[in-house]
Structure 1
Amino acid sequence: MSLSDSVAHQTAFALRLAPRVAAAAADEGANVVFSPLSLHALLSLAAAGTRGPALDELLAVLAPAGGGCGATADDVAALAAHVVGRVLAGASAGGGPRVSFANGVWVDASLSLKAAFAEIAASAYKAEIQSVDFQTKDDEITDQINSWVSSATNGLIKNMIPDGAIDQLTRVVLGNAIYFKGAWADKFDASGTEDGEFHLLNGNSVLVPFMTNRETQFLSSYDDFKVLRLPYRKGDDRRQFSMYIFLPDDRDGLWNLIDKLSSEPEFLNRHLPKREVKLGEFRIPKFKISYGLDASRVLKEMGVHMLFCGDGGLTEIADSPIADGTSILHKSFVEVNEEGTEAAAASFRMLRGCCRAPPPPPDFVADHPFFFLIREDTTEAVLFMGHVLDPSVAA
């Protein structure tokens, strides 16, 4: 499997997740941010310890078969190794974004990890492996893992694992955390930020601060939505990170737009702006989102069932059977302001056991619900995505 095919699978996974996460949050009217890259990495790590039908389920979600040939656990591990080594290689010289990506494996002292799993966890996933005492020190280990997440996300994500989620029956915890902080290539002038109305899906409106910038921006316009690209400042390496905002023309058009994004694999790449155009009015709101997700329910909807039942096929992690019970917790944070973007996410899996006059320039006024994502453009890997329903809601 080529690298481009592997990244395409990760993007397809991200876009299949988006409408399901949106539906899960719709009833509560919540702003949403999540990291499909974090969840993909965590499930890929789980795949390295899985065999049989459970592995088939995971691979069908992580890298669905195409052209008569599906991916293997080695394929998804190779993608993880490339992402860790290239996309998430940390801060670059020259002022590029600061990126960190960490994986962890905590195994109860009563078990020994299988050598093959330990090797791939350390080499492909750069995972920290720790032997701990879940059976008598479960509260202490919870604090230890939460401290690890907080450190890996620059303090943005605290109390990732709630009290009681780890107990004396826990045997293995797989964890992943991702952190991103980037400055805009063209920063917004804070003196131009002004309050304005943001229209909610229920017909009401709220007053929030809107940022504005120079009149030339990367923009593409279609029949019922527009896409804005806001690049982050590059460093001295090849990476180029960007935020993309998908704005429906209709104030209540967000859900239909998310369905379109997930409708076909190439929809995203076909609609990203490639050139700068002169805009008329240009305003986007500042926003800050913190969102926690029990990913288990979403993954079941996507066809992953055996990890959450009695016989999950997790035979290749440790030298003794792992008891029943698996949960996948995911929490993300993002803040967008005049300087740039700070974002973080963490995922955890607990195992138990012509001649006409020119038209006027287009506007881009994000004064109603919209979808966004953060991508590394040279590899096309999607780090974060989410939607904004009400930017006045505090994180």
Structure 2
Amino acid sequence: MATGASRYGATAESVDFVFGAEQARRRVNAFVADATKQLIPEILPRGSVDSDTVVVLANAVYFKGAWSQPFDVFTAPFHIPGGSTVGVPSMKTDQSQYIALYHGFRALKLPYKNDVQQQAAFYMLILLPDSDTLSLADLYDKAVSMPEFVKKHTSARKVPVGQFMVPKFKFTFEFEASSDMQKLGVTRAFNTGNFSGMVSGGDELSITGVYHKATIEVDELGTVTAAATAIVFGTTSVGPRALMDFVADRPFLFAVVEERTSTVLFLGHVVNPQLG
């Protein structure tokens, strides 16, 4: 507990899962709601915690940042899979931006305002695949599987812009990850896992549920986003200096990144900005 508190700002609480499982579930949800400023009011659904539960690990992150340069807004076409086109509120500017061209895609770095020099600096990275040479899925695979991919594909200099459009978007996503994790080969933790290095009696525990939820809103002023995860344990049962376009009028990948370490806080993609 002391190590978690000193290194990660973590807290630990003792609860009664046998006679107070529902109260314990509500306590975890209250922690997440408070940490995300009510953007995620519930991470553990009813029934996820019961008398067989022994430990719940939960974390939450909240981020709010204003663009270093606010944008104007106009309605622009966005091409969604299947050939349809929808008109969406979008951001535009004629000011120089951090744009770079790579094989099969282009990247846009949008810095957030940082008025306190001692604080960490953040930016949003938008990766826009070319329609004919690289799919969104292929670009996603590169971003999550290649070390330092984000850092290596973040532009370090501004270029004058020609056409520029990035849609506003807002959505919430949630899922239970146990099945997907086991398909990826993480199976022992869900059966006869050994967590004795984490808690006493941990050699008799297994994961009974992995719950994740994220929400994000991006508009002309900046970004507000939050995410939370709860794990339930139970007993075993580069381009030229010419005008450069960046028109995100088709599905794209985005990430919120810490500047110094290139740590990715949030990673997602937009297929249709109208679907919240």
TM-score using structure 2 length: 0.91
Counterpart of 1:255 in structure 2 is: 137
2:152 to 270, 275, 281: 270
Q: Is the contact made by 2:94 and 2:162 (CA closer than 8 Å) also made in structure 1?
A: no
| 1:326 to 1:235, Cα distance in 2 relative to 1, 3 A | farther
Tell me if 1:143 matches 2:23: no
Residues 95-106 of structure 1 aligned to structure 2 (within 5 Å)? none
SS, match of residue 141 in structure 1? helix
SS, match of residue 142 in structure 1? helix
Counterpart of 1:202 in structure 2 is: 82
SS, match of residue 14 in structure 2? strand
Tell me if 1:131 matches 2:11: no
Tell me if 1:242 matches 2:143: no
| Aligned-pair CA distance for 1:291 | 0.8
Counterpart of 2:41 in structure 1 is: 158
Q: Is the contact made by 2:170 and 2:273 (CA closer than 8 Å) also made in structure 1?
A: yes
Could you tell me which runs of 5 or more consecutive residues in structure 1 were left unpaired when the two chains were aligned: 1-117
Distance 1:266 1:380 in 2: 8
- For these two proteins, the number of residue pairs brought into alignment is 269
SS, match of residue 332 in structure 1? strand
1:137-173 Cα shifts (integer Å, max 9, x gaps) = 2122212211111110011002211010011111110
Distance 1:126 1:376 in 2: 19
1:349 to 231, 235, 252: 231
- Residue identity matched to 2:2: E
SS, match of residue 164 in structure 1? coil
Residues 103-122 of structure 1 aligned to structure 2 (within 5 Å)? 118-122=1-5
Distance 2:175 2:243 in 1: 40
Counterpart of 2:194 in structure 1 is: 313
Distance 1:143 1:266 in 2: 39
1:285 to 167, 185, 196: 167
Instruction: Pick the structure with more helix per residue.
Output: 1
Distance 1:170 1:341 in 2: 36
Q: Is the contact made by 2:189 and 2:206 (CA closer than 8 Å) also made in structure 1?
A: no
SS, match of residue 146 in structure 1? helix
Distance 1:359 1:334 in 2: 33
Distance 1:120 1:265 in 2: 28
| Aligned-pair CA distance for 1:253 | 2.4
SS, match of residue 12 in structure 2? strand
1:272-308 Cα shifts (integer Å, max 9, x gaps) = 1110001111010000121113233343344422111
Tell me if 1:363 matches 2:232: no
SS, match of residue 149 in structure 1? helix
| 1:281 to 1:142, Cα distance in 2 relative to 1, 3 A | same
| Aligned-pair CA distance for 1:323 | 4.1
Worse overlay, 119-128 or 295-304: 295-304
Q: Is the contact made by 1:182 and 1:340 (CA closer than 8 Å) also made in structure 2?
A: yes
Distance 2:205 2:6 in 1: 27
Counterpart of 1:214 in structure 2 is: 94
